[in-house]
Amino acid sequence: MRLVLGSWSSIIFALMYPERFKNQVALVTGGAQGIGMTVALRLGREGAHIVLLDRNADALAKAVEVFVAQKVPVSTIQGDIANESEIEHAMESVVSQQGRLDVVVHCAAIVGPTNTPLAEVKVEDFDQVYEVNLRGSMIVTKQALKAMLPNKYGRILLLASIAGKEGNAGMSPYSSTKAGVIGLVKSAGKDYAESGVTINALAPAVIRTPMVDECHPDQVKYMTDKIPMKRCGTLDEVAAIACWIVSREAGFNTGATFDLSGGRAVY
């Protein structure tokens, strides 16, 4: 059977790095479903002990069943990323119970109003999106740093969005808060560039997830039509690049925002 180069690359990679995250502990926010759970599963399959943090207790319980069925070690914490005391306690608990925290992938977010021009957006709705998406990102990053800096090693990845780079019409709260996430990463990455802890972001175009399913159908069509590949990204595609960003191989990247956009973002 003839193997293409990509197949050989996958085989060689699997032989060289069967457990990229062996003996590491990875916490994934919003880890009970969607992008968070998919990234967490891949990290776990590559050797990490996984801690899922989510505010939805029922979703966490269902996620655990998936991890157990796939024989991936997992712990869970129910918590609200917008509540600093809860997140501080969560990070401290992970370090206390597992002895370390090596990776944090921050996926928890909300969409807020969609298909809604700015003049029709309620201030209270904007505030809610800000509290979760931007304030929550700051809290998670701050507390992750406190857990990682003593070990002089860590990987922090925040999920931004192509909407934060280009803006999506009808989604001003989401777009502006995700732009804030990108700015947060740029600044914090420079703050801690010599610490051994990297801080990066990933900016996907539309990925078919439960969060996207909450959007107005016209909004999803608008976002998909902007993608030259004319399709949504897959969860596995997000997990593949996310796991590389938080691996040791990506040690010379910090303060960066990586695109995953099917050709929409090219600079």
Q: Which residues are annotated as catalytic?
A: 174
For the record, the structure tokens of 65 come out as: 């069943």
Please state the φ and ψ torsions of residue 71, each to the nearest 5 degrees. 60, 40
Q: CB of 158 within 8 A of CB of 134? A: no
In 3-state terms, what secondary structure has residue 232? coil
255 C-beta neighbours (distance < 10 Å), count: 19
Q: In the Cβ-directed half-sphere of 55, how many Cα atoms lie within 13 Å?
A: 12
Closest CA to 107 of 128, 136, 129: 136
Q: Is the Cβ–Cβ distance between 38 and 13 less than 8 Å?
A: no
Dist. CA 178–CA 158, nearest whole Å: 10
* 9 to 1, 12, 14, 77, 245: CA distances (angstroms): 16, 5, 9, 37, 18
Question: Could you give the angle at the alpha carbon of 199 between the alpha carbons of 57 and 252, nearest 5°?
Answer: 140
Sign of the alpha-carbon dihedral angle for 134, 53, 185, 72: negative
φ and ψ at residue 107, rounded to 5 degrees: -110, -15
